[in-house]
Every structure is written in C-alpha cells, then in structure tokens.
Amino acid sequence: MGKDRGLYITEIDFLLTYRCLKECDHCFVWGGPSATGTFNLEDLYTLIGEGEELGTVKTIYFEGGEPFLYYPVLLAGLKRAKECGFEVGVVSDAYWATSREDAEEWLRPIASIGVSDLSLSCDRYHGKELEVEEVSLVLNPSTFSTLLRPEERSVHYDCYPEALI
C-alpha cells in the first residue's frame, strides 16, 4: 500500500463545547453565547482511550468555545487524559478570573491534576480593553506559583496585554 511517511497524530485538541461568552469575529469554530453542543463524558472517555491505543499521541488539549463553562466535564476529561499518561493543556478566555482568589479557586483543581499548559486568549481580539487589563492583573505567573509544587511549575501563561496597543 502507501509508503510510511512518518506522519503520526501526536496531539488531540478537543473542542469541549462551541458555547462561549464572547463572540469574536475571527473565531474559527464560530463559538458564541448561542452556540450549542458539548462533549459528554462517555464520548470523551472513548476518544481519550482511542488516543491511547494509537500509541503516538503525547498531548491532549481541551478548548472551545469556553471549556470552563462545563467545568465538571473539563476536570473529568483532564483527569482521565492524565491518568492515561498524556500531557494536558487548556485554552480559555479567563472569564472566571474576576479576582486573584477566584482565579486560584478555579485553577487549584486543574493544577492538582497536573495541567502542563494553560493558554489564555486575552488580548484586544478577545475582549474589551478593561477586561484584558483586569485579567492581566489577576492572572500572572505568580498566581500559578502559589498553586504548584516547584517541580510542576511548567504551567504556561499565554496572555498578551501588550496587544492592546
């Protein structure tokens, strides 16, 4: 048959939901407040298991829409993926970061699971200027350092307030 070209699936990105509190013009999944559809746990677990069977997948990301809108499903998916030996990451717009205390409350369970990357869509393309400035003050690398043991301080902070200009 075909020649093995060394192409393997190494990452799976789950769009946990299309629902999002924002409706960005550039959104490639057409997420928004009225978008419907979300993964159920049975399907999520099945696909994580299939990723494990492939043997080439190293990383699983949970995205959306806004995956934090279905927080229990997000946590269960992260936990299952981590139990299967995958590195896990989350992409969020950080709507939940209304104060440092709130942010820590939302992130503590995620940090305890061992999420290795948290990417925040936080710039002029994903919100109003004031929202972005507030999130930037609440979420900074020191927020995560209080939640993670030193050997786990690999959570990636990906917020670009400088994109406000």
Radius of gyration of the chain (CA): 17
In a domain, 3, yes or no: no
In a domain, 71, yes or no: yes
- Structural domain total, the chain: 1
In a domain, 1, yes or no: no
Q: Which residue has the higher pLDDT, 87 or 23?
A: 87
Q: 6's torsion region: left (phi>0), alpha (psi -120 to 50) or beta?
A: left
In a domain, 123, yes or no: yes
* pTM (predicted TM-score): 0.77
8 A C-beta contact, residue 94 and residue 159: yes
In a domain, 133, yes or no: yes
In a domain, 16, yes or no: yes
Q: Provide the mean pLDDT of the chain.
A: 76
Q: What is the CATH number of the domain that holds 27?
A: 3.20.20.70
Q: Which residue has the higher pLDDT, 159 or 6?
A: 6
8 A C-beta contact, residue 60 and residue 86: yes
Q: Which residue has the higher pLDDT, 16 or 121?
A: 16
Provide the domain limits for residue 52.
11-164
Q: In whole angstroms, what is the distance from residue 150 CA to residue 133 CA? A: 28
Give the mean model confidence (pLDDT) for residues 21-47: 80
In a domain, 51, yes or no: yes
The yes-or-no verdict on residue 28 having pLDDT over 80 is no
State the pLDDT at residue 164: 35
In a domain, 2, yes or no: no
C-alpha closest to that of 95 among 61, 49, 131, 70: 131
